[in-house]
């Protein structure tokens, strides 16, 4: 599969997935997302295999054993053994370049193919390195594992600015019943707009030269863990409470707080959260969004508040259940631990349908050497943006002042 065909197929599948979401067909959208992920993985695997084949020397041959046949006098001596070239892995090349290790010619060829704008020179100049897809996947998996709210958003990958229409009201012409003599009223809609540009998410991991002597095999797990933990925390915090300004994506809580009258915000008394507070919050979520919603709260709030709630007949509302992707269920909705929330705060909502994210520039890695300090900075960054497309998909529960 060539790159042009791959991009055409991917764009078509993204459009189909977006259509499913717009129609409220979340299960179909999830299945389509899995198809896109498989397409990406297949293309990445094919690209790497092609690069590996191209990197092999033309004169690379298996050792010539034609004169080593057994005869009556034993084994004849082998006259010549040609160089044997192993398959080159870009993951290993990436690690060796980042750790300032020497490369073989085959590894240099592969690095240059993957980084055509940054030909290998092995010096201390600050460099941008294309992260292998498997390493990026590991960073993203770490982010989603630590912050479930990130896993519930299906991002698009469109260059430039992306705009979504937001219908904020229907002042006139909504569906109604009419008598025979009355013409159907024209619909009037009030639209807002969600504009997703490019917000730069970045995290630097500083490694001493002494620590940089780590084994090549240990580097990728190290960088995945370090970048995944910190970038995941920043991104999840932005999805919840980002200012939605020139610097940060828009968070769900921010969008809810900006609504006139804050209808999606439920304040509970200082004496504690009650069953009535929770049912009131469920009531402000638009019905079509309940299927696919989750309840997000910190570990302390889950086990200190939600797990102890009872209904009017003193029956517990919280049902422990790890099969739903969280730690339990309330009203059939999965409860998940999300550290981006504040203690005592609860967010109920459908992130898959009510929140949009666009990644305009995939994650990259830049290295920066500091000779005097004998350290190296590994700076991971991506350009993305996110925001709420419908506040009615959420309810925000917080202790009243």
Count of C-beta atoms within a 10 Å radius of residue 241: 19
What pLDDT score was predicted for residue 252? 97
Map tokens 């977006």 to a residue.
Answer: 18
Map 287-310 to HEC letters.
HHHHCCCEEEECHHHHHHCHHHCE
Read off the tokens for 316: 């517990």
Among 45, 99, 136, CA closest to 361 = 136
What pLDDT score was predicted for residue 316? 92
Among 102, 147, 160, 139, CA closest to 299 = 147
The residues that bridge with 349 in the sheet, in sequence order, are: 294, 394
Strand ranges for 212-300 from DSSP E: 265-268, 294-297
Strand ranges for 133-216 from DSSP E: 162-172, 188-196, 199-208
At 12-37, the pLDDT tens digits run 888 888 888 877 788 888 888 888 88
Bin 331: left if φ > 0, else alpha if -120 < ψ < 50, else beta: left
What pLDDT score was predicted for residue 319? 93
Read off the tokens for 29: 């959208």
What pLDDT score was predicted for residue 82? 40
Q: The pTM is what?
A: 0.69
DSSP H or E run through 123:
none
Cα distances from 257 to residues 18, 242, 260, 264, 391, in angstroms, run: 27, 12, 8, 8, 10
What pLDDT score was predicted for residue 367? 78
What pLDDT score was predicted for residue 122? 62
What pLDDT score was predicted for residue 16? 85
Cα distances from 324 to residues 294, 295, 330, 340, in angstroms, run: 10, 12, 11, 20
What pLDDT score was predicted for residue 237? 97
- Report the largest interatomic distance among the alpha carbons of the chain, rounded to a whole angstrom: 112
pLDDT tens string for the chain (401 positions)?
Answer: 677 787 778 888 888 888 888 777 888 888 888 888 888 778 777 776 776 666 555 444 444 444 444 444 444 444 443 443 457 788 888 888 878 788 888 888 888 888 877 777 665 456 667 788 888 888 889 999 999 999 999 999 998 888 887 755 555 556 667 777 777 666 555 557 788 989 999 988 888 888 777 878 888 888 889 899 999 999 999 999 999 999 999 999 999 999 999 999 999 999 999 999 999 999 999 999 999 999 999 999 999 999 999 988 889 999 998 887 889 999 999 999 999 999 999 999 999 999 999 999 888 878 787 888 888 888 888 999 999 999 999 999 999 86
């Amino acid at each position: 599969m060539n790159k042009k065909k791959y991009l055409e197929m991917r764009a078509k599948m993204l459009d189909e997935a977006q259509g499913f979401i717009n129609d409220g067909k979340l299960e179909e959208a999830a299945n389509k997302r899995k198809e896109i992920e498989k397409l990406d993985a297949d293309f990445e695997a094919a690209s790497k295999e092609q690069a590996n084949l191209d990197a092999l020397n033309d004169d690379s041959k298996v050792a010539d054993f034609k004169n080593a046949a057994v005869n009556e006098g034993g084994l004849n001596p082998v006259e010549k053994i040609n160089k044997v070239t192993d398959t080159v892995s870009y993951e290993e090349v990436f690690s060796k370049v980042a750790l300032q290790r020497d490369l073989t010619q085959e590894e240099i060829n592969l690095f240059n193919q993957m980084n055509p704008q940054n030909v290998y020179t092995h010096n201390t100049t600050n460099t941008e390195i294309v992260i292998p897809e498997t390493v990026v996947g590991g960073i993203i998996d770490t982010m989603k594992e630590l912050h479930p709210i990130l896993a519930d958003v299906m991002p698009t990958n469109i260059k430039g600015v992306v705009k979504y229409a937001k219908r904020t009201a229907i002042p006139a012409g909504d569906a109604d019943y009419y008598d025979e003599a009355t013409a159907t009223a024209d619909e009037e809609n009030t639209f807002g707009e969600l504009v997703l540009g490019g917000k730069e998410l970045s995290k630097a991991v500083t490694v001493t030269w002494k620590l940089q002597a780590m084994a090549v095999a240990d580097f990728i797990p190290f960088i995945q863990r370090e970048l995944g933990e910190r970038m995941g925390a920043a991104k999840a915090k932005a999805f919840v409470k980002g200012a939605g300004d020139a610097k940060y994506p828009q968070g769900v809580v921010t969008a809810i707080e900006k609504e006139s009258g804050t209808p999606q915000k439920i304040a509970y008394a200082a004496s504690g959260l009650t069953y009535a507070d929770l049912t009131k919050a469920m009531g402000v979520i638009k019905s079509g969004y309940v299927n696919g919603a989750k309840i997000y709260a910190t570990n302390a709030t889950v086990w200190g508040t939600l797990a102890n709630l009872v209904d009017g007949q003193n029956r517990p509302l919280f049902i422990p259940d790890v099969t739903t992707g969280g730690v339990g269920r309330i009203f059939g909705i999965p409860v998940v631990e999300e550290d981006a929330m504040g203690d005592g705060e609860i967010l109920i909502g459908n992130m898959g349908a009510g929140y949009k994210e666009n990644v305009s520039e995939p994650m990259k890695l830049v290295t920066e050497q500091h000779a005097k300090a004998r350290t190296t900075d590994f700076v991971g960054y991506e350009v993305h943006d996110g925001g709420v497309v419908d506040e009615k998909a959420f309810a925000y529960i917080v202790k009243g002042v």
